């Protein structure tokens, strides 16, 4: 059976493990497979490799190695950060997030609301950029924690971290940043940002799945979410995934080098060629978030009058992997909460596709996508009877009104 080459433009979902990361990990599955908490040398000596990985991850974000707590993923890091911040500030029962956060933040906030916490949601403008005035106003009420992402996973929109940090610290609140998408795609220097807690995930930077990290600024009180043994200096229990941690460290080092050597800048040029080529070849399409600062690898484009799922199925038949801002659930089409918060028109909302590239993306992959996309969109539009004057079919499928 001949396997069709894959054009993988879904790197904000997960990334290919790099060859260097794979090679670094393999010995810890076969030869050095001991438990780092063991008294004997076969296991105990692995603490040296974990320490090295911690230093590599810390270097990626401008932190001290003692400020890095290893976790299983970004979701665990976000849950741990939020729960710890609130447990250590019981006099304040108020949390602020944005409308476009990842579900692992929004769902925690929803749960906290059911426990009696006040959850304030800050909106975004039509480009997905944070409303700083609304945040400043919300912070006039004593707040325990502000949790904001650094860059949006769907649109690539980058939040103004310096401005957010100034507002949060002036108000005396703790600040948690979900940097899962920003890390490895742009420089992060926590020596110059007043971040208290920050979340990372290995599989977004060409590392393995099932490994993450939580930055806890020195002197920030931290309450463990996962209890058990003494691992991670008592901050996160569980036998260390040595192979995964070594892979994470290697991935962090490679990502840092890619930023320093302008490899990430080359990814942005490739993204721009893809984006500009699609806009030039296909009428009635728009870049969601295109009017503000974005990650250089991400392009979220809305194609009017058609559904994103239909585009994705057609792309998949050509071996092209992308993702949609909407998802089919129980027979009904629910639009992306991110695009809804941006008040994207109904005629565009359900036809929005995210292309997210990496340093392994190629010109040939962009050429293929530019070749097939106009044909796909044209065919689907011929099958669609809808236009700007007839979008009630979309409105009726919404689970809530468009903001």
User: DSSP letters along 204-256, please?
Assistant: GTT--TT-EEEEE-TT-----SS-SSSTGGGTS-S---HHHHHHHHHHHHHHH
Domain presence at residue 361:
yes
175 plus 269 within the same structural domain: no
Is the pLDDT assigned to residue 390 strictly greater than 70?
A: no
Q: Are residues 176 and 285 in the same domain?
A: no
**pTM higher than the cut 0.75:** yes
Task: Note whether residue 312 is domain-resident.
Answer: yes
- For residues 93 and 112, what is the distance between their CA atoms, to the nearest angstrom? 9
Count up the domains in the chain and report the number: 2
Is a pLDDT exceeding 90 seen at residue 318?
Answer: yes
- pLDDT, one tens digit per residue, over 37-75 is 777 877 778 899 999 999 999 999 999 999 999 999 999
The CATH number of the domain holding residue 349 is 3.90.1150.10
Query: Which band of pLDDT confidence, cut at 50, 70 and 90, is reported for residue 4?
Result: low
- Segment 19-48 shows an average pLDDT of 88
Is pLDDT larger for residue 328 or for residue 78? 78
Q: Which residue has the higher pLDDT, 116 or 239?
A: 116
Residues 284 and 243 in one domain: no
Q: Are residues 316 and 246 in the same domain?
A: no
Of 157-166, 195-204, 386-395, the range with the lowest mean pLDDT is 386-395
- Check whether residue 193 and residue 289 sit in a common domain: no
Q: What is the per-residue pLDDT across 337-347, written as a single tens digit (0 to 9) for each?
A: 999 999 999 88
Judge whether 170 lies within some domain.
yes
Count other Cβ atoms within 10 Å, centred on residue 400: 9
Residue 320, Cβ neighbours under 10 Å: how many? 23
23-49 average pLDDT score: 87
What pLDDT does residue 333 have? 54
The predicted-structure confidence for 258-282, as pLDDT tens digits, reads as follows: 999 999 999 999 999 999 999 999 9
Domain that holds residue 174: 19-259
Evaluate if residue 328 carries a pLDDT over 70.
no
The answer to whether residue 328 is catalytic is yes
**Do 233 and 367 have their domain in common?**
no
- The confidence score (pLDDT) of residue 40 equals 84
- 66 and 174 belong to one structural domain: yes
In a domain, 80, yes or no: yes
What is the three-class DSSP state of 375?
helix
396 pLDDT above the threshold of 60: no
From 73, 285, 321, 328, active-site residue:
328
pLDDT at 388: 55
End-to-end CA distance of the chain: 49
Q: Same structural domain for residues 174 and 302?
A: no
Contact 84, 225 (CB under 8 A): yes
Q: Which residue has the tokens 């396997």?
A: 3
- Per residue in 223-266, pLDDT tens? 888 888 888 788 888 989 999 999 999 999 999 999 999 999 99
Tens of pLDDT, residue by residue over 132-156, are 999 999 999 999 999 999 999 999 9
Q: What is the CATH number of the domain that holds 52?
A: 3.40.640.10
Which of 220, 239, 259 marks a domain boundary?
259
The residue among 44 and 206 whose pLDDT is bigger is 206
Q: Does residue 1 carry a pLDDT above 60?
A: no
């Amino acid at each position: 059976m001949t396997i069709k080459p894959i054009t993988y433009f879904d790197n904000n979902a997960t990334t290919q493990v790099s060859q260097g990361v794979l090679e670094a990990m393999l010995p810890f599955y076969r030869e050095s497979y001991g438990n780092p908490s063991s008294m004997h040398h076969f296991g105990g000596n692995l603490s040296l490799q974990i320490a090295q990985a911690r230093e590599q991850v810390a270097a990626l974000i401008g932190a001290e190695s003692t400020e890095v707590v290893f976790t299983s993923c970004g979701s665990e890091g976000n849950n741990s950060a939020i729960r710890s911040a609130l447990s250590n500030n019981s006099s304040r029962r108020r949390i602020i997030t944005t409308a476009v956060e990842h579900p692992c933040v929004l769902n925690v906030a929803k749960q906290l609301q059911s426990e009696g916490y006040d959850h304030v949601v800050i909106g975004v403008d039509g480009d997905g950029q944070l409303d700083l005035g609304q945040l400043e106003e919300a912070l006039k009420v004593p707040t325990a924690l502000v949790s904001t992402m650094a860059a949006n996973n769907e649109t690539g929109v980058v939040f103004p971290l310096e401005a957010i940090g100034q507002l949060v610290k002036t108000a005396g609140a703790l600040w948690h940043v979900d940097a899962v998408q920003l890390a490895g795609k742009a420089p992060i220097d926590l020596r110059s940002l007043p971040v208290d807690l920050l979340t990372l995930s290995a599989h977004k930077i060409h590392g393995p799945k099932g490994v993450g990290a939580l930055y806890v600024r020195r002197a920030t009180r931290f309450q463990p979410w996962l209890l058990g043994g003494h691992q991670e200096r008592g901050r996160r229990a569980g036998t260390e995934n040595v192979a995964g941690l070594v892979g994470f460290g290697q991935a962090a080092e490679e990502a840092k080098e890619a930023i320093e050597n302008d490899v990430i800048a080359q990814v942005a040029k490739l993204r721009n060629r893809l984006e500009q080529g699609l806009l030039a070849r296909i009428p009635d399409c728009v870049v969601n978030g295109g009017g503000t600062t974005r990650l250089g690898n991400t392009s979220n484009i809305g194609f009017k009058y058609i559904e994103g799922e239909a585009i994705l199925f057609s792309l998949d038949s050509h071996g092209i992997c992308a993702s949609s801002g909407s998802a089919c659930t129980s027979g009904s089409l629910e639009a992306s909460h991110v695009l809804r918060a941006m008040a994207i028109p109904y005629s565009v909302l359900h036809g929005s596709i995210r292309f997210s590239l990496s340093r392994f993306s190629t010109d040939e992959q962009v050429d293929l996508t530019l070749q097939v996309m106009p044909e796909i969109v044209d065919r689907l539009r011929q099958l669609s009877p809808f236009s700007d004057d007839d979008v009630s079919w979309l409105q009726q499928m919404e689970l809530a009104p468009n903001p």
